[in-house]
Amino acid sequence: MKYQPQAKELVEAKGEYRWLAQVPGHCLQQTLMDLDKACRTHGTFRVRWRSARRWAPSFRFPEGNKMVEPLNGRHCRVKLPKLGWVKFRASRRLDGETVRSTTLSKEGAHWFVSFLVDDGVNTPQVHAAPGTGVGVDRGVVVATSDGELLDESFVTAGEQRRTVVLQRKLSRAVNGSAYRAKIRVELAKLRASERDRRADFYAKTAHRLAHTNAVVVCEDLQTRNMTRRVGAVEDPDRPGRDLPNGAASKSGLNKAILGKGWHRFETALRSVSRYTGTQVVKVPAAFTSQRCSVCGHVDPKSRESQAVFRCTYCSHSGHADVKAAVNILAAGLAVTACGELHAPRVVR
C-alpha cells in the first residue's frame, strides 16, 4: 500500500485510537513515508517489522527551521510540536546552520536529540593532497597499505564478564517483571559504551585517512553472507546426530566480525570525504589475501596463518593483512584509472 491511502487511513485511525491523536502528526506521516520508501526500494514482502527488543525508540520531526536557543554554558533548548521546549546539552553550537530535521532517540536510560543541518560546505573539487592513495583491509585486524595495523578492542575483559553474568540473569528473569527491566537497562549501558568507543575510533581513523589521502580503497564485503551460521550435516552412521562442522569456531568468528563494525567505518569514511574531496572506492574482495603483491601469484597456501604471508612462487613474505591492503589499493587504482596517482608502495 502506498503513502496516500495510508495517510487517509491515519486520519480515520486517530478518531478510533485516542493515543494516536497525542502523537505529533509529522512524526506519524514521516513513518509512513519511510515505510513507503522501504517497500519501493526493497519490495513489499521483504520489509519486516522492527523488533521491540532490538530497536531503540526514536522518532523524527521532518520539518526544518526549528528554533534552537542557547541557554547557559553548553545547554540549549529546542521547541518541538506537542512537546514544547526541550532542554538538552549541546555537543557543539549551531551557528548559522539551517536545521532540516530533528530526531529524538533513546539509548540506554537516556534520550538524545540530533539535528540534520545544512552547513553550507561544498565538497572540494581537488583534494588537498593530490596523488595519494591508501588501501584498507577490513578484517578482525584493520590494516592499511602503508603498513599500519589498526587493531582496537571496544570491550574490556571486565565488561565481557559482566555481560555474560547479566545475560544469564536475564534468561532466568520473569517476563514483564521489574527485575528483568532493570537487567535490560544494565545491558543497554554496556552496549552503549561499546558503540560509543567503536564510533569514536572509526570517526578518528576515517578523519585521518581522508585528510591525508585523495583515494581510499576498501573491499566490497558481504557481511551478511560472511556471518551466516554453518549448516548441520547429519551423521549417516548415527541417525539423529550431526557431524562436527566447526559451528562453535564459526560463531566466535561471526561475533568478532560483527563486533568490528565494518559498515560503520565505511559510513564514517564517506561522511568525512564530503568535506575533503576524498574518493572512496570499493573493489571485489576475492583473492586479495591470496595474491602476492610483488609477483602477482595467487595461491591459498601462501597465507600460512592469519598474520603471515609467504609467497610459494617468489618466497616474498610479510604481514598478510598489509599485503592484502596493498592488493586492494592496486585494484582500486586500476578501477579509477587515475594517472596522477602514484603506484602503490609495497611495504616489505
Q: Residue 8 half-sphere exposure, CB side, CA atoms within 13 Å?
A: 4
Q: Which domain holds residue 99?
A: 59-118
Q: Residue 179 falls within a domain, yes or no?
A: no
Given this model, what pLDDT does residue 147 score?
Answer: 87
Q: What is the pLDDT of residue 203?
A: 92
| Residues 227, 252 share a domain | yes
pLDDT given at position 278: 92
Let me know whether 148 and 256 are in one domain. Answer: yes
Q: How many domains does the chain have?
A: 3
The rounded distance, in Å, linking the Cα atoms of 194 and 90 is 22
Sequence-separated (6 or more) residues with CB below 8 Å from residue 346: 293, 294, 326
Q: Judge whether 163 lies within some domain.
A: no
Q: Are residues 88 and 226 in the same domain?
A: no
Residues of the chain with pLDDT under 50: 338-348
CATH code for position 263: 3.30.420
Q: What is the DSSP letter of 291?
A: B
Q: What is the DSSP string of 328-339?
A: HHHHHHHHHT-T
Do the domain assignments include residue 12?
A: yes
Q: What is the DSSP string of 186-239?
A: HHHHHHHHHHHHHHHHHHHHHHHHHHH-SEEEEEE--HHHHTPPPPP-B-TTST
| Together in a domain, 320 and 227 | yes
In a domain, 262, yes or no: yes
* Residues 260, 138 within the same domain: yes
Catalytic residue among 137, 146, 194, 266: 137
- The pLDDT value recorded for residue 345 is 41
The 10s digit of each residue's pLDDT in 41-71 is 888 888 887 777 677 788 888 887 777 888 8
pLDDT at 162: 96
With respect to residue 173, please indicate whether it lies within any of the assigned structural domains: no
Active site residue 137: yes
Tell how strand 279-284 and strand 215-220 pair up: parallel
At residue 273, the pLDDT reads: 92
Instruction: Spot the catalytic one: 146, 194, 266, 321.
Output: 321
225 in any annotated domain: yes
Q: Which of 146, 194, 219, 266 is catalytic?
A: 219
Percent of the chain with pLDDT over 90: 21
Q: What does the DSSP 8-state code read for residue 242?
A: B
pLDDT in tens, 80-134: 888 889 899 988 887 777 888 899 988 877 889 999 888 888 888 889 888 889 9
Classified as helix, coil or strand, 106 is strand
Domain co-membership, 138 together with 72:
no
Residue 104 parent element (H or E): strand 98-107
Asked whether residue 70 falls in the same domain as residue 33, the answer is: no
Q: Are residues 104 and 252 in the same domain?
A: no
Q: Is residue 107 part of a domain?
A: yes
Contact 204, 122 (CB under 8 A): no
Indicate if 214 and 87 belong to the same structural domain. Answer: no
Q: Are the C-beta atoms of 63 and 83 separated by less than 8 Å?
A: no
Q: Is residue 299 part of a domain?
A: yes
321 is catalytic: yes
Are both 138 and 214 inside the same structural domain? yes
Is residue 34 located within the same domain as residue 74?
no
Provide the whole-model pTM: 0.78
